[in-house]
Structure 1
Amino acid sequence: MSSTSSDVVAEPAPSAPVPPRALPNGLAAFLVFLSSGAVLVLETVSLRLVGPYVGVTLQVTSSVIGMALGAIAYGAWMGGWLADRRDPRTLLAPALVLAGIATAVTLPVVRYAGEALRGGAASAVLLLTALAVLLPAALLAGVTPLVVKLQLADLRRTGQVVGRLSGIGTLGGITATLVTGFVLVAALPSTVIVLALAGVLGVTGLVLGAYLRRGSGTGLPGPTRAKAALAVLGLAGAGLSAVAPNPCDVETAYHCARVEVDGQWTQGRTLYLNSAEHSYVDLADPTHLKYAYTQWIGLVADLARPPKQRMDALHLGGGGFTMPRYLAATRPGSDNLVFEIDGGLVELDRRELGVRTGPQLRARVGDARVLLGAEPTDSRDFIVGDAFGHLVVPWHLATREMAADIRRVLRPDGIYVQNVIDYPPDRFIRAELATVAAEFRNVALIAPPGAIAGQAGANFLIVASDAPLPLAGIPAQLRLLPEPARLLHGDKLAAFVGDALVLTDDFAPVDQLLATA
């Protein structure tokens, strides 16, 4: 009896998937540093991009920060999800290239959309800030989880790898925030910053793709046609940026500024700040006051002191230097000191608006609140507060503590005039009147009748002093001006103010008071 035997050949055990090869530590750190820093550059510059259309208010700042954080959250989640399903080495280069394209496209998208969404409505703010930062920041936020996945070859070092890369990403964000805020914004227009960032991201992605392709045969996925489409999209984004409407001739550290020649008078110049008319200057005649509120200020100054009598005046906010030039021309020997936070604006005024500083007209660059604190007590006859715009209101200049410091600097018979822009239901002007009245014994208001009735937005001029105000001559002088205006004081002013909030350094919700909805 014979027996047969057969050899049983065991099937080879399936091999575990080979994890993607880790990146060199230096390259991994660079990619995380760059992508995290780029998000913060976008966040900071986005405030400059949307400011000319919706202002730089607390809501706008909060919206930009919120959109950036949302982009980081969703981008990191998506990047981690993709890292578990595909080789991260095939995704890194495309993510950077796409982020560069999205960054370049941000400029025309924001500028075209900004023209349509101009104003300060909450929905416009949210939409415009989303268009400015959401997509490129999300793509950039996806880079870090892709890199982390590649570096986690040894589970015993998970905490060390994640902690190191997380720390490097944070340092990238801090560095980008400081460099952008202190250097780039002051030295370069927003357009240059955004396009340069787009270029850096795109070139980094292309170089990284070539490096990875040479090392492992992977790189930008997809056929040549897809790569060509990406290149065309990037060029289209840059091209659209060149032709998109730009609201700025000059970008200073604080403003998007433009100067236009008056079509009816060749010596007339209009200064636009953040797309809004801010100042009118007559190069040939500094006594020519075009805007109604400047006429009111001139009227009060002329009633407060005899004509041509010198005056020690302080101007909180320079703008186009309309009022300092007026007082210097009408009151020889006067001392006009201007506090202007934006040194770039002062240079623009010198270059295009004929501002000539000297003994009668001095400009000091810095925050008005800080500079005011260094002024001597009882040193000024006349203080002009004109630092508020219709989209930008520095709240710390609107509080009772600020009014108290203005009162300290004024001489006992000195007068403070403050230009305020507000819209129905006029909550801010009422609160500001209540705030100024909390410090000064005598307060009055000059404004158009329609604005007092709550029918339209307008400039309001607060007039305040511890001494009796020269009210008797104001109504007759107002009737001589081209635009109608009324004077409110006493019981009528108290009725207009009602129970309005007194603003303080501890609680000054200026942006909310200015909201029209």
Structure 2
Amino acid sequence: MSSSSSSAAVAPARPAPPDARALPNGLAAFLVFFSSGAVLVLETVALRLVGPYVGVTLEVTSSVIGIALGAIAYGAWTGGWLADRRDPRALIAPALVLAGIATAVTLPVVRYAGEVLRGGAASAVLLLTALAVFVPAALLAAVTPLVVKLQLADLRRTGQVVGRLSGVGTLGGITATLLTGFVLVAALPSSVILLALAVLLGGTGLGLGAYLHRQGRAGLAGAGTGLPGPVRTKAVLAVLGLAGAGLTTIAPNPCDVETAYHCASVETDPGRPSGRTLLLNSAQHSYVDLADPTHLEYAYTQWIGAAADVAAPAGQRLDALHLGGGGFTVPRYLTATRPGTHNAVFEIDGGLVELDRRELGVRPGPGLRTEVGDARVLLDAEPADSRDLVVGDAFGHLVVPWHLATREMAAGINRVLRPGGIYVQNVIDYPPGRFIRSEVATVAAAFRHVALVAPPDAVAGRTGANFLIVASDEPLPLAPLAQRINALPEAAIVLAGDVLASFVGDALVLTDDYAPVDQLLATA
């Protein structure tokens, strides 16, 4: 008996029989990979959806990421809770179909809500991003715990199963992020990406439901093998999906063209038939008079024109570099007022350059060189002492990109300027004016002479406005600049010397190591 007991104790345990209810490993991996990747597609495209209404700032980006992570957390929690209480086989397909419907409805919901919440406070940003992401992302996040539950037939392999599917889900997210950022957004409008994703999700859910129904090995009735049983329910889901797609076609669209970076449109000025306004993410960005390139509509462009007018004797050609193209208003002005001027324009958005060519008559040639790329990167390739004028007018919505606002960037601009060359930088800020003070201090750290052009109310901190920083290593032509500024229709003043130093105070100098641009712009 003792020998028998000993023999039984060392006998290897039999592996648990495979669970007939488990999904094939390949199918399980596909569902986790696909659902996890779909969440990241939604997250990436959501930035494009909300941008026209609330901008593309650090706060908006943080909101999208935070809402998506919250949706993943709640979806995974809910999916796990349901997996312990109901047969997961009856839930996976409906989750995919419902996620497809929610994705199809997202675009019209965001566009209608965006018109109401446009330009709102932080609460509006959070609400709009939640409308763009939360429901479909939460439904998709529920898929992984449902699949994991089905695959845990042998508790001795729990770590292996969970680890493998977790890794597959992560790979799905990485693949979707790279594919969306590098390929889809550059090739397709957001509406097409979302509708295609909705169709893929719905089709996958329907196909999975049909497969599980045919398999029928779990001993469950038809209602437990995929979509809810009644044909009426399936018809309702189909109608909801078609309604979502239909609403997309009639929802207000703020874009003529959706580029890799902007929702862009061009509007004709009803008061000036040859006038065109370029809108980026629904904000007025540039104004061009197709018949009169010397017409400068906005006050800040008039200030730039005034600075360019006093940069050299009237009519003398300049070598000018423009950081940001927009509607190419200033290059046109320089070409018209200083024949022979050579303009080099660095514009990160190739789609915007194409829109300018098609709608605003921009034509590269001997006097205009356009390079598509990041201004900071392209600046490094410019020869030293090669430019008479550098115009900084690059924005991400209403914010100067942080890496273009640092002391190192200003030093790079100084490097390409010839002795006596002038740098002008357009900046937008709001009370209490922390960013403009820091940016003046930053430019002053790289240039010996700095001045500031601004409306008196903006200097006093009573209103937000455009500011124009003017800098050079040689003394600035302040008297002629002030004379031209004073002659303009809108009131503006020129600050320099001790007055400017008093305005700047002990403001932070921005560096590549520390440049909290979005926080400085916060109006609190």
Which residue number corresponds to residue 353 of structure 2? 346
- Counterpart of 1:498 in structure 2 is 505
Instruction: Describe the superposition over 1:311-344 as per-residue Cα deviations: whole angstroms up to 9, x where unpaired.
Output: 0100000000010111112111111100111111
SS in 1 for 2:369: strand
Give per-residue Cα distances to partners, 1:324-375, cap 9 Å, x unaligned: 1111121111111001111111111111101011111110111000111111
Aligned to 2:215: 215
1:427 aligns with 2:434: yes
Q: SS at 2:285's partner residue?
A: strand
Q: CA RMSD in A?
A: 1.4
Q: Which residue of 1 aligns with 2:475?
A: 468
Q: 1:393 to 1:120 in 2, by over 3 A?
A: farther
SS at match of 1:472: helix
- Counterpart secondary structure, 1:444: strand
CA contact under 8 A between 2:281 and 2:397: conserved in structure 1? Answer: no
- Contact 1:318-1:338 at 8 Å conserved across structures: yes
Superposition deviation, residue 407 in structure 1: 0.8
Q: How far apart are the structure 1 equivalents of 2:398 and 2:419?
A: 34
Q: Which moved more, 1:151-160 or 1:32-41?
A: 151-160
Q: What does the per-residue CA deviation read over 1:405-457, in whole Å, with 9 as the maximum and x for residues that have no partner?
A: 11111112000000001111111111111111111111111111221121211
Q: Quote how far apart the aligned CAs of 1:214 are.
A: 1.6
- Are 1:407 and 2:403 matched, yes or no? no
- For the pair 1:241 / 2:248, whether they are aligned, the reply is yes
Please give the per-residue CA displacement for 1:174-231, whole angstroms capped at 9, x wherever unaligned.
Answer: 1100000000000001111111101110111111111111221322124333222222
**Residue 106 of structure 1 corresponds to which residue in structure 2?**
106
The answer on whether the counterparts of 1:100 and 1:136 sit within 8 Å (CA) in structure 2 is: yes
Deviation at 1:73, TM superposition (A): 1.2
Matched with 1:9 is none
Q: CA deviation at 1:399?
A: 0.5
Cα deviation, residue 476, structure 1 = 2.3
Extract unaligned runs of 5+ from structure 1. 1-17
- Residue matched to 1:224: 231
Q: TM-score, normalised by structure 2?
A: 0.93
CA distance, structure 1, for counterparts of residue 386 and residue 481 of structure 2: 26
Q: Does 1:71 align with 2:88?
A: no
The farther-off stretch of 406-415 and 220-229 is 220-229
1:352-501 equivalent positions in 2, closer than 5 A: 352-388=359-395, 390-501=397-508
Give 1:293 deviation, angstroms: 0.8
What amino acid sits opposite 1:208 in the alignment? Answer: L
Which stretch of structure 1 is more off in the superposition, 254-263 or 213-222? 213-222
Q: Distance in 1 between matches of 2:76 and 2:387?
A: 57
- After the TM superposition, which residues 143-182 of structure 1 pair with which residues of structure 2 at under 5 Å, given as runs? 143-182=143-182
Partner SS state of residue 333, structure 1: coil
Counterparts of 2:270 and 2:384, CA distance in 1: 45
Indicate how the Cα distance of structure 1 residues 365 and 120 shifts in structure 2: closer, same or farther if over 3 A, else same. Answer: farther
Letter paired with 1:362: R
Q: Distance in 2 between matches of 1:431 and 1:222?
A: 64
CA contact (8 A) 2:280 2:397 kept: no
The residue that corresponds to 1:8 in the other structure is none
Q: Which runs of at least 4 in structure 1 moved beyond 3 Å after TM superposition?
A: 389-392
> Tell me, what secondary structure is at the counterpart of 1:148?
helix
Q: Which of 322, 328, 333 is the aligned partner of 1:315?
A: 322
Alignment of 1:22 with 2:22, yes or no, is yes
Larger displacement relative to structure 2 (370-379 or 218-227):
218-227
CA distance in 1, matches of 2:19, 2:331: 71
Distance 2:342 2:458 in 1: 34
Given that 1:443 and 1:464 are in contact with CA atoms closer than 8 Å, whether structure 2 keeps it comes out as: yes
In 1: Cα distance, 2:383 partner to 2:431 partner: 38
Count of residue correspondences: 500
Q: How does 1:267-286 map to 2 (within 5 A)?
A: 267-286=274-293
Letter in 1 for 2:238: A
CA, structure 1 residues 512+120, in 2 after alignment: closer, same or farther (shift >3 Å)?
farther
Contact 1:46–1:64 (8 Å) recurs in 2: yes
- Partner SS, residue 446 of structure 1: strand
Name the CA shift for 1:366/1:390 in 2 (closer, same or farther; >3 Å). Answer: closer
2-side partners of 1:246 and 1:58: how far apart?
24
* Cα distance between partner residues in 2 of 1:220 and 1:120: 40
* Residues in 1 aligned to 2:325 and 2:193: alpha-carbon distance in whole angstroms: 28
CA distance in 2, matches of 1:225, 1:425: 59
Cα shift readout 1:449-485 (whole Å, capped 9, x = no counterpart): 2211212111111101111111111232223212111
**Under a length normalisation based on structure 1, what TM-score does the superposition of the two structures give?**
0.94
1:331 maps onto 2:338 in alignment: yes
Alignment check: 8 A CA contact 1:325 1:361 kept? no
The one-letter code of the counterpart of 2:351 is G
For the structure 1 residues 418 and 493, does the alpha-carbon distance in structure 2 shift closer, same or farther, using more than 3 Å as the test?
A: same
Amino acid aligned to 2:200: V
Q: Does 1:88 align with 2:88?
A: yes
Query: CA offsets per residue over residues 231-252 of structure 1, 9 Å max, x none?
Result: 2222222222222211111011
CA contact (8 A) 2:452 2:467 kept: yes
Are the aligned partners of 1:88 and 1:149 in contact in 2 as well (CA < 8 Å)? yes
Mapped partners of 1:139, 1:389: distance in 2: 32
Whether the 8 Å contact between 2:57 and 2:397 is mirrored in structure 1 is no
From the superposition, tell whether residues 256 and 390 of structure 1 become closer, same or farther in structure 2 (CA, over 3 Å). Answer: closer
Q: Distance in 1 between matches of 2:300 and 2:98?
A: 50
DSSP-derived class of the 2:343 partner? strand
CA contact (8 A) 1:390 1:421 kept: no
% identity of equivalent residues: 82
Report deviation, 1:112.
1.7
CA distance in 2, matches of 1:120, 1:408: 40
